[in-house]
Structure 1
Amino acid sequence: MATLNAALDAIERHLNFPRSRSTGVSRRLQEAILLPSGAPGVPPDMDDDNVLDLVVALASDTELHNAVDAVEAFHRMTPGGVSLVDAPQSIPSAPIAVAILIEDARAGVADARKSQIEISHNASALALHKPAAQAVRFCMPGQDAGHWASRGHHKSITLNVAAIADALDDIFGKVIA
């Protein structure tokens, strides 16, 4: 576990999201009980998933009051927008797929470290770009993942998986491969 302040510092250092913005976003996520709040005199303890939720909220580049919606949408995204009701447990949702990719990068898997995560600001969608592989797109169930760029003006941010992995290593310590 790590403190929120350590997470905010590492996110600024490795991903260049300003601390001034990430502080406000983290407060909104805490109010919605998506991030831990701590107790009087005790800083909140963050885990890997909490940090990834915060990074997704920051990368969504939305208004502050919509940060919670961005994280909740991230938790509901499925591969290609398919319904996962009665689907095998082996089919990961977006948070699981992202966590697996980043854990591989933290363990030193070269292709994982070269990968990128693209987060769409206005389509509630995410794409994993791996070297020499077709992008894996996640979106809300019922959406067509193949048309996210054709919904009018499209805005997205692409994050290097290695930078996220390095931030997590900075926060939680290196993963021993």
Structure 2
Amino acid sequence: MTNAPVRLKVIDSGAALGAAEAFSKGQVDLAVVRSDFGDLSHAQAVIVVTHAIVMIVVPPGSSIDSVEKLKGHTVGVVGVVGGEANSKVVDVPTKEYDLTRKVVFKNIAPADARRQFNPSQSALIVVIPLTQKYLSQVRAWFTPGPKAAPVLIPIEAAGITHRRASYGSSSVSQ
């Protein structure tokens, strides 16, 4: 039938992770999710809303200048408390850089990131859309000043992009 109207019934699954689970179980035909959520092996993209980036951020003056130097430190993972949303984001570099049992990951709600980013949190892992709005929010977690800008730790993407097709490489200007 041509020109048939499309009718959608919106089902509130609470969050993107719930939407991914409902899609994986066949409970829904369409879901709005990140490409690294749940079992999306039978999914096709209808529309890409945004591209998210993963950043590892350290405070100004930190001695940490590589992923390998995170060993022995606590890293805050900014996202939904409970950590399920970013568990794969943490899992991939943990395996790629052999961080298992060498780094403590602590889930932090976005609203608490500024307050909890202190000497006990050596670094933050942040997953955000690549827009000025969200980059500005990350910068706001740090005390303003010419030498107070956060420092981004490069994640060498070669091994990671081969492990997970949903991940790619991008550059973010500091």
> For the superposition of Structure 1 and Structure 2, which TM-score range results when normalised by the shorter chain?
under 0.3
The structure that is helix-richer by fraction is 1
TM-score, normalisation: structure 1 = 0.25
Larger of the two Rg values belongs to structure? 2
The TM-score normalised by the length of structure 2 is 0.25
